[in-house]
C-alpha cells in the first residue's frame, strides 16, 4: 500500500511525522517514510493554491498512489464545528474565482467561462465522488469548504461569502489539492482540523496546538485503517 500525504507546512503534520519512520528523500519537497510496512510519502507544498496545485501535479504525474491525503488546518464558519474538531472536506470551491460587478460577485460559471459540470467540477464545486472506504475517515463530520487566497477576517466579507456559498470551513489549499487529484484520477481525501472560528482576527481564541495534535492522531488512525 502506497500513500501520499500532502500538507502546506511541516508544522501542521509534525505529530504525524514523529510517529512514522523516515527512510529516504523522495525528490523535491518529498520525503519517504514507513509505518507498519506501509509506504508513506510526504509532500510539503508550501502555502496557497498555486503551490499546492503545481507540486501535487508534479508528484502525481511521476508516481502512482493507492491513497492521497491532504492534511491541514482550517477556519470554521459553522459554529457547531468548534476549534479542535477534525473534519472530512467532501466538497470545495475556489471562492474568489470570478468577477466583481459593482456590489455583486459573479462566479466563473455565471460568467459562462466554465460550465457548472465541466470536468473536474460538479455543480460548480470540486467534489470527492468516491472517498476511500476507511473506518477512521468515515467517522469524521463530512463538510463543505471554500479555498481562498486571503483568509477572511472582516465582518462584511465574512457575511458576504457565507451568504454566497454557505461554506462550513475555509482553507488556502483544499480546492487546489482536490483539483489535482481529480485530474490524476486517484483515490483521495481532504482532512482538516479546525483551528479557529472565521471571525475578525482573534488569535487569542485560536487552538492551533490542539488542532494540530488532533489532526495527527486522526491521520495515524486513517493510516492504520487502510
Instruction: Reply yes or no on whether the pLDDT at 16 is more than 90.
Output: yes
| Relative orientation angle of helices 49-60 and 174-184, to the nearest 10 degrees | 20
Instruction: Reply yes or no on whether the pLDDT at 27 is more than 90.
Output: no
State mean pLDDT over 180-199: 97
- pLDDT for 193 equals 98
Question: What tens digit of pLDDT does each residue of 135-173 get?
Answer: 999 999 999 999 999 999 999 999 999 999 999 999 999
Q: Is the separation of the CB atoms in 29 and 45 below 8 Å?
A: yes
Would you place residue 42 in the very low, low, confident or very high pLDDT band (cuts 50, 70, 90)? very high
- pLDDT for 46 equals 97
| Closest by CA position to 144, among listed 115, 164, 114 | 164
- pLDDT for 71 equals 98
Number of structural domains (the chain) is 1
CB atoms within 10 A of CB 37: 6
Q: Is the separation of the CB atoms in 117 and 123 below 8 Å?
A: yes
Q: How far is CA 79 from CA 83, 169, 174, in A?
A: 9, 10, 20
- pLDDT for 36 equals 86
CATH number of the domain bearing residue 49: 3.40.50.1580
Distance CA 178, CA 91 (A): 9
Full-model pTM: 0.96
Q: Domain range spanning residue 59?
A: 2-224
Q: Is the separation of the CB atoms in 98 and 154 below 8 Å?
A: no
Q: Whose grid coordinates read 460559471?
A: 109
- pLDDT for 205 equals 86
Instruction: Reply yes or no on whether the pLDDT at 26 is more than 90.
Output: no
Q: What is the mean pLDDT of the chain?
A: 95
State mean pLDDT over 177-202: 96
Which residues have C-beta within 8 Å of that of residue 92, sequence separation ≥ 6?
125, 126, 127, 144, 145, 146, 147, 174, 175, 178, 190
Amino acid at each position: 500500500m502506497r500513500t501520499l500525504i500532502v500538507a502546506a507546512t511541516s508544522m501542521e503534520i509534525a505529530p504525524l511525522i514523529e510517529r512514522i519512520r523516515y527512510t529516504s528523500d523522495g525528490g523535491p519537497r518529498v520525503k519517504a517514510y514507513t509505518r507498519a510496512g506501509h509506504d508513506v510519502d510526504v509532500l510539503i507544498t508550501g502555502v496557497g493554491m498555486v503551490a499546492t496545485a503545481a507540486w501535487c501535479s508534479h508528484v502525481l504525474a511521476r508516481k502512482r498512489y493507492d491513497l492521497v491525503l491532504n492534511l491541514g488546518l482550517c477556519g470554521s464558519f459553522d459554529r457547531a464545528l468548534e476549534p479542535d474538531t477534525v473534519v472530512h472536506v467532501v466538497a470545495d470551491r475556489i471562492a474568489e474565482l470570478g468577477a466583481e460587478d459593482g456590489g455583486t460577485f459573479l462566479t466563473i460559471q455565471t460568467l459562462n467561462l466554465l460550465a457548472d459540470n465541466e470536468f473536474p467540477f460538479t455543480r460548480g464545486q470540486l467534489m470527492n465522488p468516491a472517498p476511500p472506504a476507511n473506518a477512521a475517515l468515515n467517522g469524521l463530520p463530512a463538510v463543505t469548504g471554500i479555498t481562498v487566497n486571503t483568509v477572511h477576517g472582516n465582518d462584511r466579507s465574512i457575511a458576504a461569502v457565507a451568504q454566497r456559498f454557505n461554506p462550513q470551513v475555509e482553507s488556502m489549499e483544499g480546492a487546489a489539492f482536490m483539483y489535482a487529484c481529480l485530474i490524476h484520477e486517484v483515490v483521495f481525501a481532504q482532512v482538516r482540523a479546525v483551528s479557529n472560528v472565521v471571525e475578525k482576527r482573534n488569535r487569542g481564541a485560536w487552538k492551533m496546538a490542539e488542532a494540530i495534535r488532533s489532526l495527527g492522531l486522526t491521520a495515524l488512525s486513517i493510516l492504520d485503517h487502510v
